[in-house]
Amino acid sequence: MLNEPTPEWPEVRLPVDQVRCRRTERWVPPAEHARCPYCFGRETDVESGRHERFCDFVPGRDPLHFGFPPDGARECSG
Mean pLDDT of 33-47: 90
Residue 76 confidence (pLDDT) above 60: no
Distances (CA, A) of 23 to 36, 40, 58, 65: 9, 14, 8, 9
Per DSSP bridges, beta strands 27-28 and 19-20 are: antiparallel
- Asked if pLDDT for residue 19 goes beyond 70, the answer is yes
Give 76's DSSP letter.
Answer: H
Res. 15: pLDDT tops 70: no
Alpha-carbon distance values, 57 to 3, 19, 32, 45, 47 (Å): 25, 15, 15, 15, 17
Domain extents in the chain: 33-58
pLDDT value of position 75: 46
pLDDT above 70 (res 18): yes
pTM: 0.61
